[in-house]
Structure formats: C-alpha cells, structure tokens
Amino acid sequence: MKEVVIVSGVRTPVGRYMGALKTIEAYDLAALVMNAAVERAGVDPADVDEVIFGQAYQNGEYVNIARMGLLTAGWPDTITGVTLDRRCCTGLDVVRFAASLIQSGDAEIVVAGGVESMSNAEFYLPGNIKWGVGGTGGMPRGHGDLSIWGLRFYDRIQRARVMSQPEYRFGVLPSMMAWAETAAEVEQISREACDQWALESHQKACAAIAAGKFSEEIIPVPVPQRKGDPILVTQDENPRSDTTLAQLAKLKPVLGGVCTAGNSSTENDGAAAVVVTSREKAEALGIEPMATFKACVVAGDDPRHAYRTVAVAADKVLRKTGATIEQMELIEIQEAFAAQVLADLKEMGVGPDDYGKVNVNGSGISLGHPIAATGTRVLVSLLHEMRRRGTRMAMECICGGGGLGIAGILERK
C-alpha cells in the first residue's frame, strides 16, 4: 500500500463570529487556501486529481463548497470536488478520505481541507412549509409565492446542534455543551480545573503569536472596505492576553454546571488546506514531505456521551499502527470544552505530567472553532510545530456532534 504524505499546509487566520472575516464568503476563504496550498507545494492546480473539502454549515449559497471553491480559485473546470460533513471531525476526516484515494491508486494528488463562515450561516425556514404553499404563475404546488404566516424560523448553527441526533431516540441536546457537562460529572472534572485549562490555552496561543509561530502557516485575508484599499487580516482574532483566572471565575455556567463562555470554544470563521500525495509521487516531483499521514480512524458513541469517542478513536489508531500513547511527542485534542479535554485526557491515560505536550500552541478555547475547518487548521499548525521541534510522532484527535470521534497519527522520518 502506498505511503501517504502531506507536502504542504496553510490556513487563514481564525476570525471571531461576526468579526473581521464576516464579509468574506466561504468559497472565497476556500479559494484562498486552495491556491496557497498548491503554490507552497509547487503543484500545478491542473495536476490535482480531486478536491475534498468539509463544511458543516452548508446552505443555499454554498452548494458543494469543494467545487465552488476550486472554481472560485480559477482552477480548470475539469477538476472535481466533493464536500463532506462529519461535524467537528470533518477537517481531519477529509484528509483520511484523501489518503484512501492515494492508497487505492484512484488519485495521485488531492487537495483536502475545510472551511466555515459561521458568521454567514443561514437563517432558514423548514422545508415542510412547502406543503402549505400554493403554486402561482404556472408553478406547481410546493413552489411559488410564500403567502402563509406563523412559520418557524431557524438559526442553522443552533438548530444543527439539536438535530445532530434524532430527538425520539436521544432526547433534545440543546447544545454540545450538554455532553461536556456529562463528561465533567462522570469524570469528576471541577470548574476550577476547567478555568485553569482555559487560561493556559489563551496563554499558549498568545505566546505562539508573539513568537511568530503562526506566521508561516497563515495566509493573509484581504477584506474589502467601503472606501480605500482592502485591510489584510493576518492574525487570529480570538486569543486574549488579558485573560485571568479571576475573570474566568466570574462567568456564570451556561447550563448550571462547570462550562462557561470562558472555558468553551467559540463560533468562528476560517479555512485551511493541505496537499496530499504518495511519497513516491512527492519524490518524483522533488517535494519534501512535511510528514507521513500514518493512519486515521473514526469512532462512534451515544451522542449524549460524545466525549468518549476521543479515547476510543485514539486507542484504535494506536493499535492500528502498533504505536503507544507514550510515543506521541505532541498531542492535539480539539478544545470544544475544557471539561471534555480533561475528561478525554483522563480516559486516554495522559496525566498532568504530560500536559506539556498537549495543545502546545492553544486550541479551540483560545484560537477558535470554525467547525469543519478546525481539523485541518489543527493539522496545519501541528505539521509546522513538528517541523520546528523535529518531532517524530504526533497525534490529533477530535470529538464531534452526533457522537463522533476521530484520531490520526503523523510521523516524520
């Protein structure tokens, strides 16, 4: 089986919800990282066999963002694109699918990534309103003018959290925070521990920014202005250098437990992309791989206990590769919630003495969580950190809505 390698990786800054990137459409963000990724790799877009992109908040304006993005990027219209959604796991799962195409011989070069513009996530009416809409102007019933009232009107971001699992089977989960609270209760995670983790996440992210660690991986995003030249957004908006434990302690729990706005991830905008190929093809093109994509697996569990999927996925990928958790010199666990991260680490057998190798440059609590882009954003940052440190093996793992989890192992030779 062919050895799969990643030969380049880039990302945009992560923008706050309704922040600096709110006017930039998702397909424009996708196009930016697609073009930058192939340029970094020295690959002609015409030689790309497939584009696999993730977007969790697709809508009528963003149909098949992979194809829309590559066409927006000016790539040949002969290149195909497909869009995936495995909720928070998406940005890593796209690379897993890309690796499968490489290993099977169905593709030689694949661009994989994720994009999310949560600022532009749509408000929508449920489709069953069409049952009461009469056709007009020659249109059949179910089409035409909307002439009825009293309709439900949804925010896709909030509604998707409820509808990531069937209500009749699992009840109503008003947010992903519900299972984070379950994690805290089951694993005995305190509010103080959550706030401490959140503080350190911001401190690590701010230190990484100050040291210029993200400068190589970030592609500036030009934001048009009403007057004058566009403004370049070059830095992640979320991290706060002024965060303190005292401030975090003042925040009220959202659901009455340990999770607050301060120790939870945020809604964000951003995109990231990597170029995936075989080691054989990389050598033929004279490209030095950033790392081998050694293995990646997914796991599922009761959506009310989604946090449990991380340890399961991590165990599965370690067994698949014959590696151990102790061999992982860097570990990235997406910070949906501090309670979830601490519970996951406990289940994975990673104790406080090893926290120094976990999320070394911050994660979702500080850097933000543009859902489908997160897995690729984390991967890009991890690849660059591995190169800086000379790291041999590293792991990335994420849990997602609907009771999903994913874990992948990278290796540098």
Contact 36, 276 (CB under 8 A): no
How confident is residue 137, by pLDDT bands cut at 50, 70 and 90? low
Taking residues 58-69, report their average pLDDT: 93
Contact 364, 270 (CB under 8 A): no
pLDDT surpassing 60 at residue 136: no
DSSP code of 326? G
Q: What's the confidence (pLDDT) of residue 331?
A: 98
Taking residues 232-253, report their average pLDDT: 98
Report pLDDT digits (tens) over 253-303: 999 999 999 999 999 999 999 999 999 999 999 999 999 999 999 999 999
pLDDT surpassing 80 at residue 148: no
Q: What's the confidence (pLDDT) of residue 374?
A: 98
What is each CA distance from 199 to 182, 205, 242, in whole angstroms?
22, 10, 10
The encoded tokens of residue 92 equal 């890593």
**What residues are annotated to the active site?**
88, 369, 399
Q: What's the confidence (pLDDT) of residue 143?
A: 57
DSSP code of 131? G
DSSP string of 384-413?
A: HHHHHHT--EEEEEEEETTTEEEEEEEE--
Q: What's the confidence (pLDDT) of residue 1?
A: 86
- Name, in order, each residue with C-beta under 8 angstroms of 85's C-beta and a sequence gap of 6 or more: 54, 55, 56, 58, 372
- Name, in order, each residue with C-beta under 8 angstroms of 93's C-beta and a sequence gap of 6 or more: 54, 84, 86, 296, 298, 375, 406
How confident is residue 127, by pLDDT bands cut at 50, 70 and 90? confident
Report pLDDT digits (tens) over 169-215: 999 888 889 999 999 999 999 999 999 999 999 999 999 999 999 99
The encoded tokens of residue 50 equal 């497939």
Three-state secondary structure along 331-377? EEECCCEHHHHHHHHHHHCCCHHHHHHECECECHHHHCECHHHHHHH
pLDDT surpassing 60 at residue 54: yes
Residue pointed to by tokens 């958790």? 325
Cα atoms found within 13 Å of the Cα of residue 266, Cβ hemisphere only: 24
The encoded tokens of residue 175 equal 């947010």
Contact 69, 88 (CB under 8 A): no
Give pTM, 2 decimals: 0.96
Q: What's the confidence (pLDDT) of residue 153?
A: 81
pLDDT surpassing 90 at residue 393: yes
How confident is residue 328, by pLDDT bands cut at 50, 70 and 90? very high
Beta-bridged to residue 62, according to DSSP, are 59
Taking residues 18-30, report their average pLDDT: 97
Question: Which has the closest alpha carbon to 267: 347, 171, 398, 373?
Answer: 373
- Name, in order, each residue with C-beta under 8 angstroms of 324's C-beta and a sequence gap of 6 or more: 318
How confident is residue 142, by pLDDT bands cut at 50, 70 and 90? low
